[in-house]
Structure 1
Amino acid sequence: MTKAHVPPQAAGNRERVVSANVRLKDRVLGHGRIAQGGMWFHGLCSECNSMAGAHYDAAYADFSNAMLARVNLQQRLYLPPVRLAPARVARSIRIGMFATSPHLRVMFRGLAEDLRNRRDRITMPDGASLRLAVCLDRRTRLAGMYNAVRVIRHIEHYDVFSEVYFRPLAWALTPNGRGTAQHADQSVVEKQGWAVVDHWLQYSEDRTAADLRSLCRAPLPLVLHPLNGHDRDEWMEFMSDKVTAILEGEIPA
């Protein structure tokens, strides 16, 4: 496995990001050594890592940088007139998400093969959705399979197969089809109105100038990670030390 930066280095994920591994030992969460060098895991083989870098990561960086320049916290313009290559952006972040957890290659083997072989149009597998929101927080987070439940005052749940929080964007690969309206009402992602961008994978790689306003039906929500709020003590976290890796960090001012 090779060193895979998620999101790509060209999107600002370079030496200036200070980050640390969060490890689970004896059922206790703790931080590993803090180091500079961006958000990355040894999670992709050299072939897939190089393929993403050669074909998709520049498009992701262009989109991220355009959003950072356009999004205004005071005006709350979270669906700006930004042009992007939807298929290339979605492929970049999806390949990166496979680096966060080896278990995803077992769960979504067909999607992994489609991405590796650069199939013309790719369909998201049943049971998963790719979600997008705006995150202007300098705190960063990269994680594999993770679940949190809010148990005080009211019940909420936050379930992800993979998550990437790196200003100005937040991405989550979430389970779908929970089957009841109650569960949907309790989902943090649903309540915040994260955009579902599964269809971006179905565009041709040659489509390089689609308007974000035509790709999303509503403004993107401004979000923080649920555990970065003032009510962190109200949440219970569930993860596996065998399949979940977490990297938390900060982009210096």
Structure 2
Amino acid sequence: MSRTHVPPRAAGNDDRVERAPDRFVGQLREPGRWNRGGMWVRGLCKACNSRCGGEYDRAYADFSTQVQRLTTLGARRLAIHPGAVPDVRFAPGAVIRCVLYGMFALNSGLSTRYPSLAQQLATEDYHRGSSVDWPADLSLRLGLSDPRFPRSGLLASRVWAVRVLERSQAHTSLADIVWPPLAWSL
């Protein structure tokens, strides 16, 4: 398995990780790794990691940068329609594929649970118009991260609660990627 940056380094995930989850060494609980180089996991083979980096990371970074620019406090004040979804141009298929590769890296059980989706992602030719068959029992959600924490990221794959339109809402998660300004949940 190769070092897989989630989200991609092109999206700004190349800074110092100041806190990672605690880990157990034998019976002792120790702080997780602190290092330079962004948030990463060893979750994809080298071929899939290189493929994602070469074909999809730039699209994700471009989308994230546009959303970040249009969701600043100043941009929101200048909005013609306050609260409206930002108007950005992007390649949705490439962005989603980048996110899915990251989620498969985070949760190795996804390849077992959705082997057909994993195989299609690894072998399709996106640039020639190939598509993947989306599982009926799977949904991908996108939201904005909490603006009060502009330098906080999260990689997770468990049940957790999020605030949606002023109220807390729990959901079962297979994988989550929170990196300002975006929050993704599978």
TM-score tier after normalising by the smaller chain length? 0.7 to 0.9
* Sequence identity (%): 37
CA distance in 2, matches of 1:78, 1:52: 31
| Structure 1 residues 161 and 27: alpha-carbon distance in aligned structure 2, compared to 1, 3 A threshold | farther
Contact between 1:4 and 1:44, CA under 8 Å: does it hold in 2? Answer: yes
Which residue matches 1:143? Answer: 156
Which of the residues 147, 167, 192 maps onto 2:180?
Answer: 167
Structure 1 residues 38-53: aligned runs within 5 Å = 38-53=38-53
Aligned residues: 169
Q: Which residue of 1 aligns with 2:79?
A: none
Is 1:94–2:100 an aligned residue pair?
Answer: yes
Q: Which residue of 2 aligns with 1:32?
A: 32
Instruction: Tell me which residue corresponds to 1:56.
Output: 56
Question: Does residue 158 in structure 1 map to residue 171 in structure 2?
Answer: yes
**Counterparts of 1:157 and 1:26 in 2: how far apart (Å)?**
32
Matched residue type, 2:153: T
Counterpart-to-counterpart distance in 2, 1:64 and 1:22: 29
- Rounded to whole Å, the distance in 2 between the matches of 1:157 and 1:27 is 31
Deviations 1:52-74 (A, max 9, x none): 01111110000011111111336
Letter in 1 for 2:48: C
Deviation, 1:77, is 4.5
Tell me the amino acid that sits aligned with residue 135 of structure 2.
P
Q: Does 1:130 align with 2:143?
A: no
Q: Secondary structure at the match of 1:52?
A: helix
Question: Cα distance, 1:118 vs. partner?
Answer: 1.8
Q: 2: distance between equivalents of 1:171 and 1:67?
A: 14
TM-score by length of 2: 0.80
> What is the one-letter code of the residue matched to 1:147?
V
Please give the root-mean-square deviation of Cα atoms over the aligned residues, in Å: 2.7
- Which position in structure 2 is the counterpart of 1:84? 90
Deviation at 1:15, TM superposition (A): 2.5
Q: Counterpart of 1:111? A: 117
SS of the equivalent of 2:32 reads strand
Which structure carries more relative contact order (alpha carbon 8 Å, separation 6+)? Answer: 1
Does the aligned pair in 2 maintain the 1:19–1:38 contact within 8 Å? no
Which segments of 5 or more consecutive residues in structure 2 lack a partner in the other structure?
77-81
CA distance in 2, matches of 1:78, 1:63: 17
Q: Could you say which residue in structure 2 is the equivalent of 1:211?
A: none
Q: CA deviation at 1:26?
A: 9.3
1:113 positional shift: 0.6
Question: Is the 2:14–2:37 contact (alpha carbons within 8 Å) kept by the matching residues of 1?
Answer: yes
The letter for the 1-side match of 2:139 is S
CA contact (8 A) 2:106 2:155 kept: yes
Q: 1:26 to 1:158 in 2, by over 3 A?
A: farther
Q: Give runs of ≥4 in structure 1 deviating > 6 Å.
A: 24-30
Q: From the superposition, tell whether residues 155 and 13 of structure 1 become closer, same or farther in structure 2 (CA, over 3 Å).
A: closer
Structure 1 portions without partners, runs of 5+: 174-253
Deviates more, 1:72-81 or 1:27-36: 27-36
**Structure 2 CA distance for aligned equivalents of residues 37 and 48 of structure 1:** 20
Contact kept? 1:59, 1:89, Cα under 8 Å:
yes
Give the structure with the higher percent strand. 1
Identify if the C-alpha distance between structure 1 residues 10 and 159 changes in structure 2 by more than 3 Å, giving closer, same or farther: same
